């Protein structure tokens, strides 16, 4: 596992690295560490999936952690971001960058251990649920995690997956909805539009932006409730109560 630590204070960098090294030793794991004094240094020659986890200080000289997170998310949707901070003032802003969790400085070793426990459980390859249907005489079993959205188009149903494939099973939208919404990831943002919240990049009062350049209208009348559900999902996910664990 490749871990990056970004902090302009040497003492804090060393303390976090030592605790993570102790965690790895206690759990018979191997971590490769890359240590940076600022966001500029981290982003030099950065590429997607370079690090499994990035521990990122918010308040640094030069580029802030928020600015670095924005740059990271522009090219990398997968790496796990954990903020290091002396204040939770930026928690609302961090939602937009899918930050996994916060560690308040000075970091308590127990809190670091807790975050690592959750991350390892969520990324331990837990079995996902499957959405089963037939289309053109072929039976399909799509992982919930691979479904971006489900759309009602007249009398037809469209299922879009993360690789850009579109399926059109001969089942009703209400039937698909009744199955998929039993999983916390799926949210109906408009009549006939069901999205997987794992793929939401941003959600305003009128538009839902998804990975892959997709965007759909939001039911304006219920927009506050829809946005709140999404925000609650993100916070619950950050605490390890949704996703890989619940699908095990």
Q: What is the pLDDT of residues 65-74, one digit of tens each?
A: 999 999 999 9
**Domain-embedded: residue 244:** no
Q: Is residue 83 part of a domain?
A: yes
Same domain, 115 and 151: no
Assessment of whether the complete model's pTM goes beyond 0.75: no
Out of 52-56, 153-157, 218-222, 244-248, least confident range:
244-248
> Does 43 lie in the same domain as 145?
no
The mean pLDDT value for 11-34 works out to: 91
- CATH number of the structural domain spanning residue 144: 2.40.50.1020
DSSP character at residue 29: -
Tell me the percentage of the chain whose pLDDT exceeds 90.
56
Is pLDDT of 206 > 90?
A: yes
Q: Is residue 245 part of a domain?
A: no
Q: Is the pLDDT of residue 125 over 60?
A: no
Q: What is the mean pLDDT of the chain?
A: 87
Shortest CA distance to 237 belongs to which of 184, 187, 175?
184
Tally of domains in the chain: 2
The reply to whether 17 and 96 lie within a common domain is yes
Based on the fold, state whether residues 184 and 218 are members of the same structural domain: yes
User: Is 80 exceeded by the pLDDT of residue 175?
Assistant: yes
List Cα–Cα distances, 95 to 136, 176, 184, 218, 236, in angstroms.
40, 29, 18, 19, 12
Range of the domain at 215: 130-238
Shared-domain flag, residues 19 and 70: yes
Assess whether pLDDT exceeds 70 at residue 20. Answer: yes
Same-domain check for residues 157 and 114: no
Q: Which two tokens stand for residue 106?
A: 């000075």
Q: Which of 122, 141, 164 is the last residue of a domain?
A: 122
Q: Tell me, yes or no, whether 112 and 143 share the same domain.
A: no
| pLDDT in the model for residue 184 | 87
- What are the backbone dihedrals phi and psi of residue 231, each rounded to the nearest 5 degrees, phi first? -65, -40
- Last residue of some domain: 64, 90, 122? 122
Q: Which of 68, 89, 122 is the last residue of a domain?
A: 122
Kindly report the CATH number assigned to the domain that includes residue 25.
3.40.50.2300
Question: Do 143 and 65 share a structural domain?
Answer: no
Assign residue 240 a region: left if phi > 0, alpha if psi is -120 to 50, beta otherwise? left
């Amino acid at each position: 596992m490749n871990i990056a630590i970004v902090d302009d204070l040497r003492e804090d960098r060393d303390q976090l690295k030592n605790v993570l090294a102790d965690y790895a030793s206690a759990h018979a794991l191997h971590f490769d560490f890359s240590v940076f004094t600022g966001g500029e240094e981290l982003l030099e020659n950065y590429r997607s999936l370079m690090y499994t986890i990035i521990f990122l200080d918010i308040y640094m000289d030069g580029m802030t952690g928020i600015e670095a997170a924005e740059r990271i998310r522009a090219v990398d949707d997968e790496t796990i971001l954990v903020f290091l901070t002396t204040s939770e003032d930026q928690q609302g802003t961090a939602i937009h960058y899918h930050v996994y969790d916060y560690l308040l400085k000075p970091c308590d070793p127990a809190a670091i251990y807790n975050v690592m426990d959750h991350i390892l459980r969520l990324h331990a390859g837990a079995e996902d649920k499957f959405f089963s249907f037939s289309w053109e005489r072929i039976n399909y079993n799509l992982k919930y995690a691979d479904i971006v959205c489900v759309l009602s188009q007249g009398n037809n149903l469209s299922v879009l997956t993360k690789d850009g494939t579109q399926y059109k099973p001969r089942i009703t939208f209400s039937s698909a909805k009744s199955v998929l919404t039993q999983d916390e990831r799926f949210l109906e943002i408009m009549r006939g539009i069901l999205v997987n919240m794992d793929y939401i990049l941003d959600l305003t009062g009128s538009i839902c932006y998804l990975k892959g350049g997709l965007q759909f209208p939001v039911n304006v009348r219920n927009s506050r409730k829809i946005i709140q559900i999404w925000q609650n999902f993100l916070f619950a996910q950050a605490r390890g109560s949704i996703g890989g664990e619940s699908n095990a």
